Chain A
Amino acid sequence: MSYSETLEQALSTVKQQAVLMQRCLQQRRLMDALRHTSIMLTELRNPELYPKPYYELYILIFDSLSILSTYLVENHPKHHHLADLYELVQYAGNVVPRLYLMITVGSSYLKCAESPSEEILKDMIEMCRGVQNPIRGLFLRYYLSQRTKQLLPQGAVDFNVNFIVTNFIEMNKLWVRLQHQGPLREREQRTKERRELQILIGSQLVRLSQIVDDNLSLYKEQILPVMLEQVIQCRDAVSQEYLLDAICQVFPDEFHLATLDALLEATTRLNPEVSMNKIVLTLIDRLNGYKDRTEQEGTKNGGASLRDLNLFQNFWNYLSNLNEERPDLPLQHFIPLIESVMTLSLQWYPQNLQNLDALYRFTAQKCQDYGKEVPANAEYLFQNLLTLQNNAALSKLDANFYYKLITQCASYRDLLGLQNVLPQKSILNSILEVLLQHTPLPGGESAAENQSDASSVERGFTVATKVDLDNLLSIFEPLIKASSPDILPDRKAVNKALANDDVADEDENSWILDLTQENLAKLSHIIMRSVSQSGDPIENIQLEVEILLSLRNWLYKGGKNIKYTYPAIITNFWKLIRKCHLLRNRDSQNEKQYSEFVKQFFKYVSRSINDLYNVCGSPLADALYKLNIQSASLADQLSLGEIAYDFLSQAFTLFEESLSDSRTQFQALVYMAQSLQKTRSLHEESYYELLIVRCTLHGSKLLKKQDQCRAVYLCSHLWWATEIALIGEEEGVTSDFYREGKRVLECLQRSLRVADSTMDNVQSSELMIEILNRCLYYFIHGDERETHISVKYINGLIELIRANIKSLKMEETTSSTIQLAEHRLDELHIHNAEGTAKEGNRFVIGLDGSYIDVPTGNGGRASVTSKLNSIHLNEMIQIPVQHFNRTCEYIQNQRDVDDRFKVITLGG
């Protein structure tokens, strides 16, 4: 008898023979039925079949054999005796069909009460040795296992365990042998086939776990040692990996807890190709499951003794042993193991940083023993270890955790220090992100205001000592010092940037959007918000300033990077200043102390600004100028006139020595005027007069005439204080405003002279109109006896502007008929905003004299330029014309509400 060539044929033969077998059984022709069964079973002899088709055949045959088995049992001993049949089938010709028949008959016999079950079982398992072909043997033994599942003798635990273990061992041997069949080049194919068959071996472990039930000593003493021995002895990577994983999965987790050392020890004796880490992770997963379960039960039962277990010690010992016994184990294998043990520690002992510290120390040692720099293909493993990114979600690692890890685990910092430059920065950047992320407060509110984002509220950390802070910042030193392009991912750019470092672009535009430095600045705010608070406000301030100074010292190491980070430091000094000021009002006993603090902190601010200037130089002058002015404003608000004066003097020095660009100068000066106008405490020692005269003088010396003109008319406000409602001032009520109308007028007159002498007619007219508008400002503001801005002056100015506009219009190129028409309309004093908007009203002039090309389409952005080509002359002429028209319209409208406007002659 022979088997079919193809699977299709085989399946059809099996089906055919099954039908015939059943027909024979119905007719009680057992011998014929057995013959058909034997033919059917012959198909299982086919050595060409791959595991999958073989399995398909097996299933089909299994069902038919079940029918046969049922018949055999039902007709015993009336029509036959199963003991006889058991003898009989031994005469079947081929070994595979013979053994299947034997097992079918034997297992049927087991169902009968009087059968000698142990003998039959022993015989069957013994006979199975007859098939040594891996696939056929595996299925045959699987068949044995399936058939005897419910039929093992009751109470004979040892026998049963032995039976299944023996079968398991034999199956594993067959399975391993499969690997070595066929040519070497088909090795991969073999491995694939084996993976398809692994479930057959695994089923034996499932059987064992069913028998063992909850009998730990049986498992620990009889089963596990044998199994582990088998696993180790087979030396086969596929088998070892699968079986250890299966053992971990199949048996109850409390067993693993009790046999942890044995399991771990086994992993050290495996084939080097085995991924130990995977097994250890599976084991840890199981242990975590145990923990979760007992904790849930524990809450019901009133506490579990989980905490007493020192699992970490088991794993720690394991790592140490492994390190001694397998010095050859490469970092790539060792690091994931360490990470797995960290996972365990984080799960079981989330508060225990000593465990992590020990692991990091161990890793750092391993790293140093390695002697060379970390190999590129292991970098990411260290990255996992140091960022703990695989555990972050599971163990809910928050900013507070990382803060403690960094500040309390010296070995963490050591290991970080051993990393290569680029991965180290990448690690630091991700830690920085974490520290920033979990802190709940967006700029400027108290913690209470953000309680709604409840999940993140408790995540913040507390900075208790300067030592903690030093520990934290020491790890960030590489980022603090990083030259900007370092954050770019490609190494080429880095090298290029490093090479150019000395000749770095020295202008303000060397300022780039540097995410790392930005995050460091943000970290400064978070640190300052996280300084621990005691009951004593004075102590709190002392600690805060100590932390802030330390922070500043660390950031100072960043060289030119301080341009990104120091403003945050200055802000925090400012905050401390205002805080002390507010506390002084609330805590009168310590008034003097707070005043001392405030003065001292202003010195720190001043030092910080000077540091910035000394390190970064004139590219930063404009920003420093403004930092000085704002520091002055702050001092002024606290009635510290002298300090305010010092900061303002500093600002002037910067203006004189370091601001060169005319645009910057103009804006800076106007900003000075704006800030001075809001000061209130500089009147002692005539500081205010000194400063505003200096400011106006600078304004009159600006490079461009139009800048001079605008600066001076804006400086007129320095002699005309206006109310600051926030401090209770009120126009008409407050009587001691600093106001000198005569000076106001002088300023306006002076700026008008400059406007008049401006060569560009368009600018000249525009400037006069702007001055007219300034005059109207004062005109509204007060009686002309105070402001000195008289109707006569205004009327004179309007006349001057009209004359100017007239001569300006002569410049118009009148070739175009549209323009001609417009010109006529204008002559007729028809001011139609809509009409002229079509062509003429294209440009307006901004605060600084720049030309703004007003967009015509929706959503458009204006283009803004400082110069316009004469091609646009006609449009340019329209700028003052239209501005004047609008001003006149305003005057006209004001007549409805203010009679005084009626005496202003619009003329024309």
Chain B
Amino acid sequence: MLILALSDAHIPDRAIDLPAKFKKLLSVPNKISQVVLLGNCTKSYTLLKFINDISPNITIVRGEFDNTHLPTTKKNRAKESIPITTVLKQGNFKIGCCSGYTVVPKNDPLSLLALARQLDVDVMLWGGTQNVEAYTLENKFFVNPGSCTGAFNSDWPIINDEELTVNNPDQNKPEDLKSSDVNGSNVPSFCLLDIQDSVCTLYIYIYIDGEVKVDRVVFKKESQTGQD
């Protein structure tokens, strides 16, 4: 079962669209069974339509710029509130979802671990940092898909290149300033989780220099030991 994790699109406030190559990759109907939006993805009609075409099974958690309720549509007039944390079930995994804007300190592994413990989950998906990350801690898997658009990041800027100033001032001309430096975010990225029973294979897609690169990380859930 494939779960797509997208976060921090910030369309149209800060970005126009996903990279075309991402969209092409994702435009395969009936492949992905569930989509998780980890914040700041609910203000664009075109994005939501695009996601709905990938899979109508969408789970949303609230990012700081999402409204408290989902925008109503013609089909769905009911005002559905967006939770800040929720849990999914897939295979033998319970998956916690949180945009991360109410996690203090922000992006702190121990705080996230406490949250995972509170939610009793094996996998914790979070967002809100515009930076793709995946690690294992205390037998739990932590995944942040980063921003799918590489949108402007108002937090401390992420430095993509090594600072050139020190080594070679000549290379540091004003006109060489990159828009990615201005945005202060990492390159666009998203994650796919392929879950089979107790194995979760994570595919990390990043868009760099006009190309899509894929990384693969496997997380196995250790079976419950002893006691029974």
In the assembled complex, B158 has its CB within 8 A of some CB on chain A: yes
- Whether the Cβ atoms of A678 and B149 lie closer than 8 Å is no
Chain B residues closer than 8 Å to A848, beta-carbon distance: 84-85, 102
- Whether the Cβ atoms of B119 and A846 lie closer than 8 Å is yes
In the assembled complex, A661 has its CB within 8 A of some CB on chain B: yes
Q: Which one of B15, B94, B188, B227 lies within 8 Å of A832 (CB-CB)?
A: B227
The 8 A CB mask of A417-452 against B (1 = contact, 0 = none) is 000000000000000000010010111111011111
Q: Which one of B18, B69, B105, B158 lies within 8 Å of A677 (CB-CB)?
A: B105
The 8 A CB mask of A435-471 against B (1 = contact, 0 = none) is 0100101111110111111000000000000000000
Chain A residues closer than 8 Å to B180, beta-carbon distance: 444-446
Chain B residues closer than 8 Å to A210, beta-carbon distance: none
In the assembled complex, A1 has its CB within 8 A of some CB on chain B: no
Q: Chain B nearest CB: distance from A676 CB in Å?
A: 9
Q: Chain A nearest CB: distance from B177 CB in Å?
A: 6
Q: Chain A nearest CB: distance from B224 CB in Å?
A: 6
CA distance A781 to B21 in the complex (A): 43
- Whether the Cβ atoms of A830 and B227 lie closer than 8 Å is yes
Q: Which one of A526, A529, A717 lies within 8 Å of B105 (CB-CB)?
A: A717
In the assembled complex, B29 has its CB within 8 A of some CB on chain A: no
- Whether the Cβ atoms of B34 and A859 lie closer than 8 Å is yes
In the assembled complex, A535 has its CB within 8 A of some CB on chain B: yes
Chain B residues closer than 8 Å to A633, beta-carbon distance: 154-155
- Whether the Cβ atoms of A512 and B89 lie closer than 8 Å is no
Q: Which one of A586, A847, A857 lies within 8 Å of B172 (CB-CB)?
A: A586
Residue of B nearest to A518 (CB): B12
| Residues 56-103 of B contacting A (Cβ, < 8 Å) | 57, 59, 62, 64-65, 67-69, 71-73, 79, 83-91, 94, 98, 101-103
- Whether the Cβ atoms of A518 and B45 lie closer than 8 Å is yes
Q: Give the secondary structure class of A's interface.
A: helix
- Whether the Cβ atoms of B89 and A854 lie closer than 8 Å is yes
The 8 A CB mask of B183-205 against A (1 = contact, 0 = none) is 11101100000000000000000
In the assembled complex, B159 has its CB within 8 A of some CB on chain A: yes
- Whether the Cβ atoms of A855 and B89 lie closer than 8 Å is yes
Q: Identify which of B88, B94, B98, B104 gathers the most chain A CB atoms within 10 Å of its CB.
A: B104
In the assembled complex, A380 has its CB within 8 A of some CB on chain B: no
Q: Which one of B11, B86, B103, B108 lies within 8 Å of A852 (CB-CB)?
A: B86
In the assembled complex, A578 has its CB within 8 A of some CB on chain B: yes
The 8 A CB mask of B162-192 against A (1 = contact, 0 = none) is 0001000000111101111111110110000
Inter-chain CB contacts under 8 Å: number: 278
- Whether the Cβ atoms of A673 and B104 lie closer than 8 Å is yes
- Whether the Cβ atoms of B48 and A854 lie closer than 8 Å is no
Count B-side interface residues using an 8 Å CB cutoff.
95
CA distance A90 to B152 in the complex (A): 96
Chain A residues closer than 8 Å to B87, beta-carbon distance: 844, 852, 854-855, 862
Interface window among A340-348, A358-366, A881-889: A881-889
Q: Which one of A579, A670, A862 lies within 8 Å of B88 (CB-CB)?
A: A862
- Whether the Cβ atoms of A442 and B149 lie closer than 8 Å is yes
- Whether the Cβ atoms of B71 and A512 lie closer than 8 Å is yes
- Whether the Cβ atoms of A509 and B79 lie closer than 8 Å is yes
In the assembled complex, A77 has its CB within 8 A of some CB on chain B: no
In the assembled complex, A599 has its CB within 8 A of some CB on chain B: no
Chain A residues closer than 8 Å to B154, beta-carbon distance: 574, 630-631, 633-634
- Whether the Cβ atoms of B34 and A833 lie closer than 8 Å is no
User: Contacts A623-B65, A883-B117 hold; do A445 and B179 have CB atoms under 8 A apart?
Assistant: yes
Chain B residues closer than 8 Å to A331, beta-carbon distance: none
Q: Identify which of A443, A567, A585, A727 gathers the most chain B CB atoms within 10 Å of its CB.
A: A443
Q: Which one of A518, A575, A857 lies within 8 Å of B183 (CB-CB)?
A: A575
Chain A residues closer than 8 Å to B90, beta-carbon distance: 858-859
CA distance A856 to B90 in the complex (A): 9
CA distance A568 to B12 in the complex (A): 7
Chain A residues closer than 8 Å to B215, beta-carbon distance: none
Residue of A nearest to B62 (CB): A667
CA distance A631 to B94 in the complex (A): 37
CA distance A443 to B178 in the complex (A): 13
Chain B residues closer than 8 Å to A667, beta-carbon distance: 62, 84, 101-102
Residue of A nearest to B33 (CB): A859
Q: Identify which of A448, A776, A857, A861 gathers the most chain B CB atoms within 10 Å of its CB.
A: A861
Chain A residues closer than 8 Å to B20, beta-carbon distance: 442, 453
Q: Identify which of A439, A513, A522, A678 gathers the most chain B CB atoms within 10 Å of its CB.
A: A513
In the assembled complex, A292 has its CB within 8 A of some CB on chain B: no
CA distance A776 to B111 in the complex (A): 10
- Whether the Cβ atoms of A444 and B103 lie closer than 8 Å is no
Chain A residues closer than 8 Å to B65, beta-carbon distance: 567, 623, 626
- Whether the Cβ atoms of A585 and B165 lie closer than 8 Å is yes
Residue of B nearest to A452 (CB): B210
- Whether the Cβ atoms of A674 and B102 lie closer than 8 Å is yes
User: Contacts A586-B172, A586-B174 hold; do A717 and B16 have CB atoms under 8 A apart?
Assistant: no
Q: Chain A nearest CB: distance from B128 CB in Å?
A: 9
CA distance A513 to B182 in the complex (A): 28
In the assembled complex, A240 has its CB within 8 A of some CB on chain B: no
Residue of B nearest to A454 (CB): B210
- Whether the Cβ atoms of B104 and A677 lie closer than 8 Å is yes
- Whether the Cβ atoms of A774 and B114 lie closer than 8 Å is yes
Q: Give the secondary structure class of B's interface.
A: loop
Q: Chain A nearest CB: distance from B163 CB in Å?
A: 9
Chain A residues closer than 8 Å to B33, beta-carbon distance: 859
Q: Chain B nearest CB: distance from A568 CB in Å?
A: 6
User: Contacts A513-B73, A579-B182, A834-B228 hold; do A887 and B115 have CB atoms under 8 A apart?
Assistant: no
Residue of A nearest to B178 (CB): A446
User: Contacts A630-B154, A858-B89 hold; do A444 and B111 have CB atoms under 8 A apart?
Assistant: no
Q: Chain B nearest CB: distance from A120 CB in Å?
A: 72
CA distance A675 to B156 in the complex (A): 11
CA distance A450 to B105 in the complex (A): 36
In the assembled complex, A637 has its CB within 8 A of some CB on chain B: yes
Q: Chain A nearest CB: distance from B55 CB in Å?
A: 10
- Whether the Cβ atoms of B16 and A677 lie closer than 8 Å is no
In the assembled complex, A42 has its CB within 8 A of some CB on chain B: no
Q: Chain A nearest CB: distance from B7 CB in Å?
A: 13
- Whether the Cβ atoms of A511 and B228 lie closer than 8 Å is no
- Whether the Cβ atoms of A724 and B45 lie closer than 8 Å is no
In the assembled complex, A615 has its CB within 8 A of some CB on chain B: no
Chain A residues closer than 8 Å to B62, beta-carbon distance: 667
- Whether the Cβ atoms of A890 and B138 lie closer than 8 Å is yes
CA distance A631 to B155 in the complex (A): 10
| Residues 124-178 of B contacting A (Cβ, < 8 Å) | 138, 149-152, 154-159, 165, 172-175, 177-178
In the assembled complex, A9 has its CB within 8 A of some CB on chain B: no
Residue of B nearest to A668 (CB): B64
Q: Chain A nearest CB: distance from B17 CB in Å?
A: 5
CA distance A518 to B44 in the complex (A): 7
Q: Identify which of B13, B48, B183, B227 gathers the most chain A CB atoms within 10 Å of its CB.
A: B13
| Residues 1-53 of B contacting A (Cβ, < 8 Å) | 1, 9-22, 33-34, 43-46, 48
Residue of A nearest to B139 (CB): A893
In the assembled complex, B106 has its CB within 8 A of some CB on chain A: yes
Chain A residues closer than 8 Å to B85, beta-carbon distance: 846-848, 850, 852, 864
User: Contacts A442-B18, A586-B177, A773-B117 hold; do A864 and B86 have CB atoms under 8 A apart?
Assistant: yes
- Whether the Cβ atoms of B68 and A860 lie closer than 8 Å is no
- Whether the Cβ atoms of A857 and B89 lie closer than 8 Å is yes
Residue of B nearest to A569 (CB): B13
Chain B residues closer than 8 Å to A626, beta-carbon distance: 64-65
Would you mind naming 7 contact pairs between A and B with Cβ atoms under 8 Å apart?
A443-B151, A444-B14, A445-B180, A513-B43, A623-B65, A633-B154, A858-B91
Seen from chain A, the residues whose Cβ lies within 8 Å of a Cβ on chain B are 436, 439, 441-446, 448-453, 508-509, 511-515, 518-519, 521-522, 525-526, 529, 533, 535, 537, 564, 567-568, 571, 574-575, 578-579, 582-583, 585-587, 622-623, 626, 630-631, 633-634, 637, 661, 663-664, 667, 670-671, 673-675, 677-678, 714, 717, 722, 724, 726-727, 770, 773-774, 776-777, 780-781, 830-835, 841, 844-848, 850, 852, 854-862, 864, 882-883, 886-887, 890, 893
In the complex, the 3 A-B pairs of residues with the closest C-beta atoms, listed nearest first:
A443-B15, A443-B149, A846-B85
